[in-house]
Amino acid sequence: MTQLSLLHSLSPFSSLSRFSITPPPRFSLPSFSIRAMTSHIVGYPRIGPKRELKFALESFWEGKSSAEELKQVAADLRFSIWKQMAEVGIKYIPSNTFSYYDHVLDTTAMLGAVPPRYGWNGGEIGFDVYFSMARGNASVPAMEMTKWFDTNYHYIVPELGPNVKFSYASHKAVEEYKEAKALGLDTVPVLIGPLSYLLLSKPAKGVDKSFSLLSLVEKIVPIYKEVVAELKAAGATWIQFDEPSLVLDLEALQLQTFTNAYSELESSFSGVNILIETYFADVPIQTYKALTSLKNVAGFGFDLVRGTRTLNFLKSGFPSDKYLFAGVVDGRNIWANDLAASLCILQVLEGIVGKDKVVVSTSCSLLHTAVDLVNETKLDKEIKSWLAFAAQKVVEVNALARALVGQKDQAFFASNATSHASRRSSPRVRNENVQRAVVALKDSDHRRATSISARLAAQQKKLNLPILPTTTIGSFPQTIGLRKVRREYKAKKITEYDYVNAMKEEISKVVKLQEELGIDVLVHGEPERNDMVEYFGEQLSGFAFTVNGWVQSYGSRCVKPPIIYGDVSRPRAMTVFWSSTAQSMTRRPMKGMLTGPVTILNWSFVRNDQNRFTPTCATQTSTTSLTRL
C-alpha cells in the first residue's frame, strides 16, 4: 500500500465502540514496517477522533458507567493509536502518552507527590485520588491548572515542598508498555524528565516562596531509577525523557541541576537506549552543549519547526555516536508538511550526523493538533487538501523516513507538491483588496487620534457614570434550552424568526436582571454565540471550520479551533444587530462585546505561509491590522 492510499484510507478508529469489552487481538507488524528506516512520533492525542475519552470520562464522573468501562475505552483508544502507527510503519512508537486527565498529573502520581488534603495513605494511586487532584471533590478543591508552555493545553501544577515524601506510587508507564508488548508492539515509554517536572511545579501552600524546588531533585531521581529498572526488566529498549524546559533561558543553577540529575541517572541507563526530547523552540547554545555532552544517552530530539537556529548548532558539532531525532513535521498546526523541503533538511542533517543516525520525527507531541482528517466530510475539498491532522502527520513522518533511505513514494510526494502549489496560487488565500489595504496602513492608524483624558471626559459627559461604575465581563451562562434552540436553528428545524425571538427573550431577561441588581454598564449576555472565537470567525472571510477537529484543552474539555487559511476581511457587520437590540431594552449604557485579535490568533490554527505578525486583515469600512480587528 502506498503512502498516498494510506493517507486517504487509513482510519484506525472506525471500529472503536464507546464501551467495547472485546479484547483487541495480538497485532502483527506489516512487512514494510521493518525496513531499514527510522521514524518516531513524540506523542499522540489521547482524547479520540470523536472525543470518545471525553464522553467516557464524563459518564464515569456522573456515575453512569463503571471504572472498568472507562478503562476499556482507554485501552481501545491506546490500541487503535498504536495499531495505526505500526500499520503506517513507524519504528519508534510512544507509549505512556495516553492520560485520563493530564500527563503532568500522571507524573505527580508516579512520584507519589499527593498533597495531604486528598487523604492518600500510600499504595497505588487510584481513580478516586487521581480525579480528586484533577477536579477536586465535595471536601477539597482541585490543584491549580495553568498553560503548558505557550500552547492552549493546560496541565495540573504539582505542589511541592521540603516535607513531601516521594514514593513510586503509579506504575502506569510500565503497565502501558507491557500492555502494548502483549499486543505484539514494542513501544518507547515516555516520561516527563526530572528537571522539567520541578520547573513546572510550585511551592505548596504554607511553603516559603523562596524554597528551591530544584533541591528536591535528589529525592525524585531514585524513583526515576526504579521506573527505568522496571521498564528495562519488562523489555523496553528505548525510553524517552521529555525535557521541554530545556528550551527556556535557564539559569546556571537550573542547567547544573539538569546535568547532575542525568549524571545520577547514568548508571541506571545501562542496557537501554535513552532519548532526551526537547520541543517548542530552540535549545539555547549553552544548554545544547550540556545536553549533547551527556553520557549513556543514545539520542536527542529537537524541534526543527520552531527551532530556527538548531540547524546551525548541529553544524557546529554533534556527537558522532548519537542519534538525532529530527522534528521536521509540525506538531502544533494542521497544515500538510512540505515534504520536498523537509527531505532537503533531512539530507543536510545526514551529512552532519551520518546516514544511519537521523530519525525522522514530529516537532513535538501531536497532542496539540486535531486527530484525523478522515472525519471531516463537510470540509471544503480544496482546503482539506492543504491539511494534515495527527493521523496524516504520522503518514508524513514515515513517508519522509522512507524517502531518506531511497524508498521515496513518488505519487505521495507529487500529490503533496500539487497541494502546496494549489495553496500558493489560490485566490482564496490572497485577497487583493486586503493586500492593498494593508500596504496603505500608516503608523498613525495604530494610535488613537485623541488623548485618553479627552476620551474620558467625553465618555463621562455622555454616560454620567458614578466614580466606581459596575459591569460584568460579558457572557451569561449558556443554558440547555439556549443550546437546543441554536442547534435546531443550525439544523433548519426552526425558522430565523423563531430563533431571533428566542434570543431576544433571553437578552430581555439578562437586561432586567442587571437592572434589578443595579449594574451601571450592561451586557446583553451573548446568547447567540456558540464560542467566543468561532462566532466571529464564522462571519469573517479567510476562516474554515471543522466538524471533528477537536483538541484537548484539559481533562475532558476540548476545543475546536478555527482554521485561518487566507487573508481576513469582514463582509458585513457582525454584532450591531444584537447590541442595538439590547440597547433598545434599557436606558443604561450597553457594552458591545468583541473577542480581541490576539485571542482569535492564539485560539486558531493560523497560517504558516507568512510571519505571524504580518497584517492580513481588512474591515468593511476601513483597513486594519489584526491588532485592530
The C-alpha cell 508538511 sits at 337
Q: Evaluate if residue 100 carries a pLDDT over 50.
A: yes
Burial 231-268 (b: 16+ CB within 10 A, else e): bbeeebebbbbbbbbbbbebeeebbebbebbbebbeeb
Give a yes or no: residue 210 inside a domain.
no
CA distance 38 to 302: 15
Lowest-pLDDT choice from 17-21, 143-147, 344-348, 559-563 = 17-21
Residue 22: predicted pLDDT: 46
Backbone CA torsion sign across 222, 225, 231, 234 = negative
CB 20 within 8 A of CB 65: no
For residue 599, the domain's CATH number is 3.20.20.210
Give a yes or no: residue 579 inside a domain.
yes
Looking at every residue in the chain, the average pLDDT score rounds to 92
Long-range contacts from 29-33, C-beta under 8 angstroms, 24+ separation? 29/86, 29/184, 29/185, 30/86, 30/87, 30/89, 32/89, 33/86, 33/87, 33/88, 33/89, 33/90, 33/91
pLDDT digits (tens, 9 = 90+) for 355-395: 899 999 999 999 999 999 999 999 999 999 999 999 999 99
Give a yes or no: residue 456 inside a domain.
no
Q: Evaluate if residue 9 carries a pLDDT over 80.
A: no
Q: 339 by DSSP, 3-state: which?
A: helix
Residue 625: predicted pLDDT: 30
Q: Evaluate if residue 12 carries a pLDDT over 90.
A: no
pLDDT digits (tens, 9 = 90+) for 41-64: 999 999 999 999 999 999 999 999
What amino acid occupies position 497?
A: Y
Beta strands (DSSP E) in 56-196 are 93-95, 145-147, 154-156, 159-160, 187-192
Give a yes or no: residue 92 inside a domain.
no
Q: Evaluate if residue 33 carries a pLDDT over 60.
A: no
Give a yes or no: residue 578 inside a domain.
yes
Question: All 3 cell numbers of residue 272?
Answer: 537501554
Task: Give bridge partners of residue 94 from the DSSP assignment.
Answer: 188
Give a yes or no: residue 521 inside a domain.
yes
Q: Which domain, by its residues, includes 486?
A: 470-556+563-606
CA distance 449 to 250: 43
Burial 124-135 (b: 16+ CB within 10 A, else e): ebeeebbbbbbb
CB 24 within 8 A of CB 183: yes
* Residue of 137, 129, 94 lying closest to 110 (CA atoms): 129
* Residue of 95, 71, 332 lying closest to 190 (CA atoms): 95
CA distance 66 to 57: 10
Query: In the 8-state DSSP scheme, what is residue 244?
Result: G
Q: Evaluate if residue 8 carries a pLDDT over 60.
A: no
Give a yes or no: residue 548 inside a domain.
yes
Give a yes or no: residue 66 inside a domain.
no
pLDDT digits (tens, 9 = 90+) for 484-500: 999 999 899 999 999 99
Cβ partners under 8 Å of residue 456, min gap 6: none
Percent of the chain with pLDDT over 90: 85
Confidence of residue 31 (pLDDT cuts 50, 70, 90): very low
pLDDT digits (tens, 9 = 90+) for 243-301: 999 999 999 999 999 999 999 999 999 999 999 999 999 999 999 999 999 999 999 99
Residue that wins the pLDDT comparison between 223 and 598: 223
Task: Give bridge partners of residue 475 from the DSSP assignment.
Answer: 525
pLDDT digits (tens, 9 = 90+) for 606-623: 999 987 666 665 543 333
Confidence of residue 575 (pLDDT cuts 50, 70, 90): very high
Burial 538-569 (b: 16+ CB within 10 A, else e): eebbbbbebebbbbbbbbbebbbbbbbbbbbb
Q: Evaluate if residue 626 carries a pLDDT over 50.
A: no
Residue 36: predicted pLDDT: 47
**Number of domains within the chain:** 1
Say what angle helices 172-182 and 217-234 make with each other, to 10 degrees.
20
Average pLDDT on 390-413 reads: 97
The C-alpha cell 466538524 sits at 547
pTM greater than 0.85 (yes/no):
yes
CB 93 within 8 A of CB 82: yes
